[in-house]
Structure 1
């Protein structure tokens, strides 16, 4: 036991044992939430490291990237993103997002303003309730509008080397963008970046220091059955660390398998309707770029040649790209639903091969160049960018039958089984909280012992991770996963 383990003081004295299947964003966050409190938790992950699933690159504070989702989902995502930034501050890239509306789009900028005003008002309320919620900048500047004449003026400025004001984030954009292709005003929103590599680093570092969290990497669950004698769950899994098949009994099972959740449901004969969508983002290098770049989103109609284009910046001229067209991020027949016989939607073999094996090099090249061309419609010089790495890809689960759902967290089956059903990574903490409440309801955790920590996020070990050690571990993960180190570095 290392020094961090010996000094960690559990709040809960309980014999309850929890199994979490899947070490993605949801599984890792729940494991940290429970183990920090002192609940005995085993995290079983089939991969070689944590948080190695579908790509994410921002917090989705307010759901500003989606016009089609409801206002309530936006408000939910705002609160979830604030909580996430407070728990994982060293994983956040603190730079805003520009939202621009091309002239090819049928919408108008004025259509977004009522929602943004409500989000801004709600953010201000949350900050007034608790000053620690002020993680998205000044509430009065949650979103700002910039007319064309303002951008023309910013074009004349020298490129700033650091951001001392919000306007500094628009100088490089104003100099490089084709303003004739946009409607005005342009929006600047405090929608921040979120690094998957840095989150993986934090989760790994903290779990290694928590004596009540037992991490089983390279391990895959092959069977689950309920014991009638004591109502416990017996989990059988191939233990890659020990090189054998192992069994263990648990009081509560959490299915955090993401797009594979249906396979665990089927083991328990737990019916569930869900969808799965395969998506990809692409990595480009634009060494000629200069100045400070925020994230930039050009709205567009999903699934059409003019679908949304998204540019996410990292250090050293590296960018992550999305394009909501069938030739870039979306795929023909990439969205599938579960049927009557199984809770697991069946993706085509061509997608499974991409997930489990390797992308054909020609497809990597063609789709990445296509995404570069898609952004170059608005940022002409971005055509100079080149393919930098394999895509960042994965399958995203969507519970139920609403393909536009973005704010979701957890569902329950029976007494001691929960499924995390997050669509966006920033919903993981809400899923952990909901399951913790359920543990109290079914009598496995004492509300007296939890006290205020049922409603308070208690993460002392997680928050003690330093920026330097997070960066070192994140860079290691980037190398192991064959991505540029720049994607793992703190953006600021």
Structure 2
């Protein structure tokens, strides 16, 4: 049965309908409902935020050396705001960035952008001290020479990492120095737990009487009347929902709603996957490790994301691992919805063949073993994390995107990264004010998340563990690390 949360909002509040309960739709619903605005969130799945794998905060876009400087600055600011809202979702550990020996670039090529990001972070802290969520600005990144790492490799592993050097010790002990260029870069780029983020949205929306959540509910048809939208659903308890403003937050299926409304829009959709491994011989607290590479080639980026108790999530930006042949598609002249091949839809809607999961996980382990030889003993640790990612426009390198509007009380949340969801919510609030649908001043629309912030780490983690189990993933992926 669909979940129906009772409404008890001010009668003068406009009714906002949001289709899609991923990170974008859920964040927009939370933001509006926390301000006392009446919201109905429609999600076809059984719970919220159950889409593509979220594992990074993306505080500065350092995983993507090919994106513009402006996108990096935008992602830094967005990530800081995201961390302030979803404070129980972060895995507080840094990220190590390395360039392989065969790469055309040099580590020094990355430093000018890091200096710009560090200066921007310092400026944001000076504007508002609460923005210091990534540690002190002078520690935003550090360089590690080969000689420094050789010395660290001789040190004992600390029980708990207390500083940058402590985080580098397991890397120094396990990295094959002959495979990478120096210096290595340690940057305060944290992890983001998809399960604790989902748990936060579920628990907070449940407490907000201005937010109605309809799960297991699909929008079948949408019609525009003079002053409202009417959403026809498959929910027997709420077959018709009338709203004053409509937000399309359907993720990679955003185009299906556009088609329903006969609206043109160019976008791309890309199917990706990450793989869960368990390294029994893992010792010490690991940072994330990124080894850059040319996307789509056999030398694509290798990405090692740590979780609790020796579990790691792996990306390999090759067509044998994270990327897929024909996995990136664009819109056609006749539809705003890019059409993925049926084999990808089957993976999303049903399940992977066990043989295919094992083969790709094995390749992801081999890809990382090039740089960390002892990782060869890692084994498949669970089902892959996968999904399709929408990219508005025609630039496959776009990472910082938010929302687009139509004049007829309709908005599309078109985020690529989770940290952009809050910007989408704020832009929608500004649009509602502009249209006179809500009456709020600047002090009213500051980042006020009193209900969300009332949640404790313990209750969020408890719910996250339950979600991981329900979704058939190791519960260690939901646990808080670095505690």
What TM-score bracket applies, with the shorter chain setting the length? over 0.9
Q: Could you report, residue by residue, the CA deviation over 1:111-147 in whole angstroms, capped at 9, with x for unpaired residues?
A: 1010000000000000011110000011001000000
Q: Is 1:483 the counterpart of 2:473 in the alignment?
A: yes
1:165 Cα deviation (Å)? 1.1
Report what 2:397 is aligned to.
404
Partner secondary structure for residue 118 of structure 2:
helix
Measure, in 2, the Cα distance between the counterparts of 1:282 and 1:366.
11
Contact in 2 for aligned 1:270/1:413 (Cα 8 Å): no
Report what 1:246 is aligned to.
239
Q: Is 1:462 the counterpart of 2:439 in the alignment?
A: no
Contact in 1 for aligned 2:295/2:318 (Cα 8 Å): yes
Measure, in 2, the Cα distance between the counterparts of 1:323 and 1:430.
29
Measure, in 1, the Cα distance between the counterparts of 2:135 and 2:12.
40
Q: Is 1:434 the counterpart of 2:427 in the alignment?
A: yes
Measure, in 2, the Cα distance between the counterparts of 1:16 and 1:89.
29
Contact in 2 for aligned 1:415/1:442 (Cα 8 Å): no
Choose from 358, 363, 369 the match for 2:356: 363
Q: Is 1:212 the counterpart of 2:202 in the alignment?
A: no
Partner secondary structure for residue 59 of structure 2:
coil
Measure, in 2, the Cα distance between the counterparts of 1:9 and 1:140.
47
Report what 2:108 is aligned to.
110
Report what 1:452 is aligned to.
443
Partner secondary structure for residue 253 of structure 1:
strand
Q: Could you report, residue by residue, the CA deviation over 1:272-309 in whole angstroms, capped at 9, with x for unpaired residues?
A: 00000000000000011001100000000101111000
Contact in 1 for aligned 2:13/2:438 (Cα 8 Å): no
Report what 2:14 is aligned to.
16
Report what 2:182 is aligned to.
184
Q: Is 1:262 the counterpart of 2:255 in the alignment?
A: yes
Choose from 348, 373, 378 the match for 2:371: 378
1:453 Cα deviation (Å)? 2.6
Partner secondary structure for residue 52 of structure 1:
coil
Normalising by structure 1, report the TM-score. Answer: 0.95
Q: Is 1:236 the counterpart of 2:232 in the alignment?
A: yes
Q: Could you report, residue by residue, the CA deviation over 1:170-216 in whole angstroms, capped at 9, with x for unpaired residues?
A: 00110011011110000000000000000000000000100000000
Q: Could you report, residue by residue, the CA deviation over 1:80-128 in whole angstroms, capped at 9, with x for unpaired residues?
A: 0000000111000010000011101111111101000000000000001
Q: Is 1:327 the counterpart of 2:327 in the alignment?
A: no
Measure, in 1, the Cα distance between the counterparts of 2:13 and 2:157.
59
Measure, in 2, the Cα distance between the counterparts of 1:9 and 1:382.
54
Measure, in 2, the Cα distance between the counterparts of 1:245 and 1:263.
21
Report what 1:198 is aligned to.
196
Measure, in 1, the Cα distance between the counterparts of 2:11 and 2:174.
59
Contact in 2 for aligned 1:14/1:39 (Cα 8 Å): no
Report what 1:351 is aligned to.
344
Report what 2:71 is aligned to.
73
Measure, in 2, the Cα distance between the counterparts of 1:143 and 1:192.
12
Measure, in 2, the Cα distance between the counterparts of 1:263 and 1:300.
34
Q: CA RMSD in A?
A: 1.5
Partner secondary structure for residue 105 of structure 1:
coil
Partner secondary structure for residue 468 of structure 2:
helix
1:414 Cα deviation (Å)? 2.1
Number of corresponding residues: 478
Aligned positions of 1:310-325 closer than 5 A: 310-325=303-318
Report what 1:62 is aligned to.
60
Measure, in 2, the Cα distance between the counterparts of 1:126 and 1:234.
42
Measure, in 2, the Cα distance between the counterparts of 1:95 and 1:120.
17
Partner secondary structure for residue 235 of structure 1:
strand
1:315 Cα deviation (Å)? 0.4
Partner secondary structure for residue 57 of structure 1:
coil
Measure, in 2, the Cα distance between the counterparts of 1:321 and 1:414.
42
Aligned positions of 1:36-47 closer than 5 A: 36-47=34-45
Measure, in 2, the Cα distance between the counterparts of 1:451 and 1:163.
41
Measure, in 2, the Cα distance between the counterparts of 1:15 and 1:294.
46
Measure, in 1, the Cα distance between the counterparts of 2:310 and 2:444.
42
Q: Is 1:292 the counterpart of 2:285 in the alignment?
A: yes
Gaps of 5+ in 1: none
Contact in 1 for aligned 2:8/2:209 (Cα 8 Å): no
Contact in 2 for aligned 1:13/1:38 (Cα 8 Å): no
Report what 2:117 is aligned to.
119
Normalising by structure 2, report the TM-score. Answer: 0.97
Partner secondary structure for residue 218 of structure 2:
strand
Measure, in 1, the Cα distance between the counterparts of 2:206 and 2:46.
15
Measure, in 1, the Cα distance between the counterparts of 2:88 and 2:272.
26
Measure, in 2, the Cα distance between the counterparts of 1:418 and 1:210.
23
Partner secondary structure for residue 102 of structure 1:
coil
1:250 Cα deviation (Å)? 0.4
Gaps of 5+ in 2: none
Contact in 1 for aligned 2:8/2:210 (Cα 8 Å): no
